Chains A and B, each alone.
Chain A
Amino acid sequence: MQDRILIVEDDAETAATVRAVVEEVGCTADHCDTLDAGIAAATSNPYRVIVLDRMLPGGDGVEAMARIRAGGSTALILVLSALGRAANRVEGLEKGADDYLPKPFEAEELRARLRALLRRGTMQVLDNDLLAFGNLEIRLKARTLHVRRAHVAVSPKEFELLTYFAQNAGQVVTRMQLLENVWNLHFDPGTNVVDVHVGRLRRKLEEAGSQAIQTARGEGYIFAPFGPAG
């Protein structure tokens, strides 16, 4: 059975884009255009993910999250809102959203985030110390990286970056995702500072003989240790 995703969104055009992305990631979409209808649907159906707007007829989606959870929903919530300043994003995440994407958004960004959320539900807990991708080995406790059995020296931040890539292996991760998850920063720094960091890590891997980090044109990066096919 396909996973179901609920879209609570009052702007028809946005809803159509979200629906297209949902279908692209292989799920079925339900759409509500008021907050009350959304809460009713969320608490009576087993959704994997809810894409929730904020300034909706009926109220603020962020304020409704507690009611959705209280209604028994175990869905992961992605807030998709025009309230996109850093302060709004931090507020939404602190109130329990699993992800927060500001409008305007690009379809690729939403796709990457929906995939990350869908994976989060199925991902086995990283209790094993060793993450091995062919000839690339990451030891989490020792915080070391080996390529072809040779140690590669990376900075602490580069190690965190690598770990985040590894957890999302085979999926596109966007610059905004990296900034939020690796640096815990929720504002747009204007310049693509993240590129420099990824570039450094990528060069270190390449010098050691691994092409694991690839650029996904116009979208971000992809960690594909087994070749471009993922």
Chain B
Amino acid sequence: MALAVTVLSLAAMGLQYSLVETRMMAAQTKLLSADLDGFAALYDQRRIIALRQAIDYRATAATGDEMLLLLDRNGSVLAGTQQAWPAGLSTEGDGFAVEPAREFRAGSSRWLAVARELPGGFPLLVARSLQPVDDTLAAMRRGMWGLLAAMLVAGGLVGWLAARSVMRRIGRVNDLADRVAEGALNARLPGVRSPDEFGLLETHVHAMLDRIQNLNLATHRLSDTIAHELRTPLNRMLQKLGRIEGQEALTADLKAEMRQAIRMFDSLLDISRAEADQGTGGGLTPVELSTVATEVWELYEPVAEEKGLVCTATIAPVLSVLGDRNLIAQMLANLLDNAIKYCSKGDELALTLTEDGDRHLMRVADTGPGLPEAIRGEAFERFVRAERDRGVKGHGLGLALVRAIAARHGARLTMPETKRGFVLEIHWPRLQQSG
């Protein structure tokens, strides 16, 4: 903006400059022409003699801004303001017309000169100094540069002030967004809104945050209500089951069914909770991933060994993440439980945890039946189960929960192709060490 104004002003000044230059040059040419007309009239009357007298007379009152010189045919000075013919200047034509005129340099100034050889071989020089023109133009140029600099400074200053005010107000909104992203859903901007677009933006952002906060609260309240309304009647049923005698096998079956149903609802609620909390750092604390992995592995390893699996764990020590220990344990338990469930005697099961660049790589690999190609793309969706696993106990929420917990921690899941079995890699963002 400031630049455009500057360029426009510069163009206007440039136009004015060239106009002034043309006008001043025209004025000098006119003066020269008037001089020449005078000399022509004298020459008409008495030729060289009159010219010589006139030039002599003019030379005594020389002001320095004109140059007159008349030579004889041998090149000696007859009359003039100069001692010698200027070097490099040759005569052209023989009349007193102002054209052709020529510019030349003598000393530090420019001159506009008419050099003729009058009949009989008398060179005549009539020239006017262009110094006044050059002085005026130089003054104009200085003025223009000054003005340009002033405009640039002023433009920059105005721009900086405007930008600073805009940036400060955008910065306020950005700070708010940062605080919300860190989990403070109740953060709001203090003070009154200004009656402009920024005020409107803040009002919109606040309205959006209110809505997010309400939805989040409703999600949490709903999961509490579902839990309460589901578990209270189940609890009464369980108490009544306890009073039935003589049908142990049946009651044990019913209890197992209830436990499965509760596990399924818990998984669903855990998934939606983890998804609702995704991206907020709230509630996460530094957790030593290596320790959790070791603990959960030690819990499941004997189970896998009993089933005849070949187990190996390679867990690098002291790798930490920002996380929820309980969720991480639940996730790993799900993966190991799945692997043990689907593998058969002789299959291999391996857990590795290593440092991998700026991430920690957790890898659970087995040589079991793996995922059927048909559900590979949607294995992490809720309630997706392979047709062949209908007979295996489960509800198809295990991997969905794994994905939700990974997302809650900002961890990335990859499923590398393997010849045999199932491999899942979890890339955990490493804990930023502070101090």
Give A residues with C-beta under 8 Å from B. 11, 13-14, 17, 55, 82-88, 90, 102-107, 155, 157, 183-191, 193, 196-197, 200, 218
Contact = CB atoms under 8 A, between A and B. Distances in A.
Contacts of A189: 299, 333, 337
A50 to B, nearest CB: 19
B270 A87 contact: yes
A180 to B, nearest CB: 11
A104 B238 contact: yes
Interface stretch (B94-102, B122-130, B224-232): B224-232
Nearest to B226: A82
A14 B235 CA distance: 8
Chain B CB count within 10 A is highest, among A85, A107, A185, for A85
Given A84-B262, A85-B270, A107 B242 contact: yes
B266 interface: yes
A88 B296 CA distance: 20
Contacts of A14: 232, 235-236, 239
Contacts of B236: 11, 13-14
B269 interface: yes
Contacts of A200: 302
A104 B262 contact: yes
14 contacts: A83-B228, A84-B231, A84-B262, A85-B227, A85-B266, A86-B327, A86-B330, A88-B227, A90-B326, A104-B238, A107-B239, A185-B329, A188-B266, A218-B252
Interface in B357-411: none
Given A86-B326, A107-B242, A185-B329, A190 B237 contact: no
A130 to B, nearest CB: 27
B299 A11 contact: no
A55 B224 contact: yes
B170 to A, nearest CB: 37
Contacts of A103: 231-232, 234-235
Given A82-B227, A104-B234, A187 B242 contact: no
Given A82-B227, A85-B269, A191 B238 contact: no
Interface string B339-352: 01100000000000
A183 B326 contact: no
B295 interface: yes
Contact of A82 (B235, B237, B296): B235
B364 to A, nearest CB: 16
Contacts of B326: 86-87, 90, 185-187
B175 interface: no
Nearest to B283: A87
A105 B242 contact: no
Contacts of B296: 185
